[in-house]
Amino acid sequence: EPEVTQTPSHQVTQMGQEVILRCVPISNHLYFYWYRQILGQKVEFLVSFYNNEISEKSEIFDDQFSVERPDGSNFTLKIRSTKLEDSAMYFCASTRLDSNQPQHFGDGTRLSIL
Amino acid sequence: QKEVEQNSGPLSVPEGAIASLNCTYSDRGSQSFFWYRQYSGKSPELIMFIYSNGDKEDGRFTAQLNKASQYVSLLIRDSQPSDSATYLCAVPNSGGGADGLTFGKGTHLIIQP
């Protein structure tokens, strides 16, 4: 069964550095998402992406964050000037049609900011 | 701002019994509802989704939707120790399109052997 793949599985970064989290959505899916989950808290929506542009973003997704689909397969989340509070699991998800269809999640990237 | 509420638990159920998980949502216009299972340190895994009032069954799992009362539930029959996990209820942020999901905090289910 097709899967959403995310790399790396664990990223350790010094505070203030930039990180790029990578995702390969399921190949025939059109809608892509990033979520984060701080340890012990609920899964929170960050941003959705369709047709090469941001469709929706939460208040968490400020100027520190950006997303890109640099080629036909990858979908990336860039976090600039990382802060301690950015430490979390970051999940990529995709769906074939719109958000009324089930979203399939990758295994996540654990981001640790030191 | 949509809200999705779940009892955080833990909910402890004996092996072989029926586990009943509940979720309420704030937006009466919500059209689709998703149940995910999340093991500790892992990603959410889709279990069930439901769009229409009533019941939807898939193996040992049954999702129940009552739009008038704005709740959705998940029943797990013949509970197994491997069902021990956190169950997340989620609804799209608005009517569809490329909206993200709003998740509840999840119910921690423990199946006692």
Nearest residue of B to residue A46, measured between CA atoms: B100
- Mean pLDDT across the stretch B6-17? 96
| Each residue's pLDDT tens digit, B33-78 | 999 999 999 999 999 999 999 999 999 999 999 999 999 999 999 9
Interface contact A107-B43, CB threshold 8 A:
yes
Q: Is A48 on the interface with B (CB under 8 A)?
A: yes
Nearest CA in chain A to B47: A102
Spatial distance between the Cα atoms of A78 and A90, rounded to a whole number of angstroms: 11
Average pLDDT of the residues of chain B: 94
Alpha-carbon distances, residue B11 vs A38, B2, B21, B87, B111 (angstroms)? 22, 25, 9, 11, 8
Whether A58 has its CB under 8 Å from any CB of chain B: the answer is yes
At B97 the pLDDT is: 67
The per-residue pLDDT for B94 is: 75
Using a CB–CB cutoff of 8 Å, tell me whether A99 touches chain B.
Answer: yes
Contact in structure between B41 and B103 (CB atoms under 8 Å): no
Percent above pLDDT 90 for chain B: 85
Handedness of CA B66, B63, A33, A27 (dihedral sign): negative
Q: Does A31 contact chain B (CB < 8 Å)? A: yes
**Contacts with A47 from chain B: Cβ below 8 Å:** 100
On whether any CB of chain B is under 8 Å from the CB of A79, the answer is no
Each residue's pLDDT, cut to its tens digit, for chain A (114 residues) gives 779 999 999 999 999 999 999 999 999 899 999 999 999 999 999 999 998 999 999 999 999 999 999 888 899 999 999 999 999 999 999 998 876 789 999 999 999 999
Query: What confidence tens digit (pLDDT) does each residue in A79-102 have?
Result: 999 999 999 999 999 998 876 789
Q: Is A64 helix (H, G, I), strand (E, B) or coil?
A: coil
Contact B101 A108 (CB under 8 A): no
Q: Is residue B113's pLDDT more than 90? A: yes
Per-residue confidence (pLDDT) for residue A99, from 0 to 100: 66
Q: Give chain A positions within 8 Å (CB) of B44.
A: 43, 91, 105
Which H or E run includes A68? strand A65-68
Whole-Å CA distances, A27 to A3, A4, A6, A68, B101:
9, 9, 14, 16, 21
